[in-house]
Amino acid sequence: MEVLRRSSVFAAEIMDAFDRSPTDKELVAQAKALGREFVHARLLRAGLAWNAPDRAAPPGGRLAEVCAVLLRLGDELELIRPSVYRNVARQLNLSLQCETVVTDAFLAVATQIFSAGITWGKVVSLYAVAAGLAVDCVRQAQPAMVHALVDCLGEFVRKSLANWLRRRGGWTDVLKCVVSTDPGLRAHWLVAAFCSFGRFLKAVFFVLLPER
């Protein structure tokens, strides 16, 4: 009961941050909450179970809206290039037995995706890569790795994306990707996502290079 109470309080604090200018700490907490939901949705889709202690209940309010949009945009990305976000561990030639190896590889991919700038398309791509790796981890009986990936995602957001997110008013800015009727906006994020595919594949090459 105490865990549920604390989780409810924590969720309330996260949602409250959507009503004002968020701090970096709040942006990271939101990033991780969104990451857990994104991963949970992809695991459910794959018919897999994952125990997430920090996920006491599905998010509500603005956080739920942001999560729904991220998942929707993620669906679009995966429809365009399904092979990119499946069997991610195999593409990276990763052994999922070592947490450090998995998180270092994820950070290498993340760094390459954003090496030429930040866009919402690339942010969605980052979440899709994390979820793809999470599915691989659970399939290979390494569910604890999923928690490490979510934490790693949060740390990357803190170091590399928090300033960008804060300048745009926080995570709710992604809602413009689907609320706007301007077809140019949707095209912009899709083009940015296509660019991120190239960055992702380049990162795959760099991760594999030491193995050659």
For 90, the token pair is 């195999």
Residues 207/109, Cβ–Cβ less than 8 Å: yes
Mean pLDDT by 10 residues, the chain (212 residues): 53 52 91 95 90 63 90 88 88 90 94 91 93 95 93 97 95 78 45 48 42 34
Please name the residues in contact with 148: beta carbons below 8 A apart, sequence gap of 6 or more: 99, 102, 103
CA–CA gap between residue 48 and residue 34 (Å, rounded): 18
Q: Which spans in 46-182 are helix H?
A: 61-80, 88-91, 99-113, 120-139, 144-156, 162-167, 176-179
Residues 6/101, Cβ–Cβ less than 8 Å: no
User: What pLDDT score was predicted for residue 82?
Assistant: 81
* The CA-based dihedral angle spanning residues 16, 18, 20, 24, taken in that order and rounded to the nearest 10 degrees: 100
For 126, the token pair is 């980052």
pTM of the model: 0.77
Strand locations in 48-167, DSSP E?
A: none
CA–CA gap between residue 137 and residue 149 (Å, rounded): 10
